[in-house]
Amino acid sequence: MDKVNAAVVVGTEGTRRAPGNTAIGGASGMPEDAEQGREKQGREKHGRTGQGRTGQGRTGQGRARSGGAVPAHAVRARGTPGEPLIVTDDPGLAEELAGVAAAAGCEPRRVATAREVGGSWHEAPVVLLDTRALEECSAVGLPRRPGLILVTARAEPEFWRAAFRSGAQHAVELVSEEQRLVGLLTELTEDVPTREGSLLAVLGGSGGAGASVLAAVTGVLAARKGGHCTLLDCDPLGGGLDLLLGEEHTSGVRWSELSLGTGRFTAAALREALPSRRLGSGEIATLSCSREDVPRGMTPESVCAVLDAARRAGQTVVCDLPRVQNESTLAVLRRADLTVLVVPAEIRACVAAGGVLDAVRDAVPGQLRAIVRGPSPGGLRLVDIRRALGLEVLTAMRTDRGLTALIDRFGLCAVRLGEHRPPVRAGRKLLTLLDEITGEASGTADRWEFFGRHGRSPLRFACGATGGEDRPIR
């Protein structure tokens, strides 16, 4: 895949239910060694051995590229958009509208007259019709409905008056707004989940803090819970999250190959384009930085478009952010439900983290927490770091050198993430807190149960303290 293109999308998302009867025109888990062995066999098929990840692509010197554009039928198979309805007896207009629908990745049904519409009037997510068909639909008593788009090749004043009288959701002049219509069809025919997805932003307080590993572990855990997680690598100098996951040879677009134009991505097209992997009953997709090309596609507009598409699909999105902020990363922080700053338990690291915090604090409207990575060679305590940063500490975790070695050899997706691993425990706490913030936690746990899951009493939580914070971090 060389490019992913999207069209302008404006307006609101349509519903699939026909309201009222007012006529239009009227008033209105396996053992770790076993899992590694299975992954070793899979990697040997692609030219890898269990001797390490030092060949081409393992050190960031190369990766497989995908070729060709994603065919429309492939996107439909994943997204299964609804079938729009075209009502017009103008063959030229019908042909043009069919082409627009094809560009939006959907196959329309076309009828020439209002009497042929039948049940499709209520079933179609969107109806495209011209002014003559609009008059016929009104004459036969078809009710108003959402997702009604009045179209014309070239608009006259009467066209806009008819659109106003009919209560059409949108009115489009094809000669000047064809791309807008592509976007409307894309969005209105896209399956919309019952809830919006959540966004977690992870950034390091200093170099080598372990933010990328924590972000990747949290993304893998979210996928293994049975959901779909999108992991965004927003650090162009970070080496690539696909390399950390062991997915650098998986075909799909990277930031340098992403092309937005002036529009918006659909969730189905994004899911089809990104490198992805099944993990248990879930799936993780990764949008990583290329190690060969400048990430030209990582503009604030494209970052927001990717975030919006993934969240519209109900996905959990985890973003690995660089310490040096730019407009693209600030756009992530402004949308994040939860932002976590990973801070090594060292004095210089805490000072550096304070500078990062000062740079991003005003851009973070959501919850902001710190995770401390130990041990502390100088005997720093959690209370010291909390006071120095003025930031609540969610938890502390030890450096997991064993996990780092396994990632270097096999890639994170091939490693069994047991509860004994500190980044796993920290990642689960992050996901639990993220669910609490976004209202997705199962049931309505009482106050003591909620704080118990975070390892602290209500009194300590109110004071911004964490259990054991007076002891040196080990």
- List of domains in the chain: 81-188 (3.40.50.2300), 198-462 (3.40.50.300)
Mean pLDDT taken over the chain: 77
Evaluate whether 86 touches 94 at the Cβ level (below 8 Å).
yes
Per-residue confidence band for 290, with pLDDT thresholds at 50, 70 and 90: confident
CA–CA gap between residue 219 and residue 326 (Å, rounded): 23
Provide the sign of the torsion angle of the four alpha carbons 243, 247, 249, 251, taken in this order. negative
Per-residue confidence band for 23, with pLDDT thresholds at 50, 70 and 90: low
Residue 408: which of 44, 32, 50, 63 has the closest Cα? 50
Residue 200: which of 221, 212, 215, 210 has the closest Cα? 215
Residue 364: which of 397, 391, 400 has the closest Cα? 391
Evaluate whether 183 touches 263 at the Cβ level (below 8 Å).
yes
**CB-based burial label for 105 (10 Å; 0-12, 13-18, 19+):** buried
Copy the structure tokens of residue 83: 């079938």
pLDDT at 245 over 80: yes
Indicate the range of 168-177, 191-200, 261-270, 407-416 predicted with least confidence. Answer: 261-270
HSE-up of residue 236 (Cα within 13 Å, Cβ side): 15
Evaluate whether 139 touches 115 at the Cβ level (below 8 Å).
no
CA–CA gap between residue 179 and residue 261 (Å, rounded): 11
* 261: DSSP letter: T
CA–CA gap between residue 276 and residue 67 (Å, rounded): 16
pLDDT score, position 76: 32
Evaluate whether 102 touches 147 at the Cβ level (below 8 Å).
no
Q: What is the pLDDT of residues 172-183, one digit of tens each?
A: 999 898 888 888
Backbone angles phi, psi at 229, to 5 degrees: -115, 140
Q: What is the pTM of this model?
A: 0.63
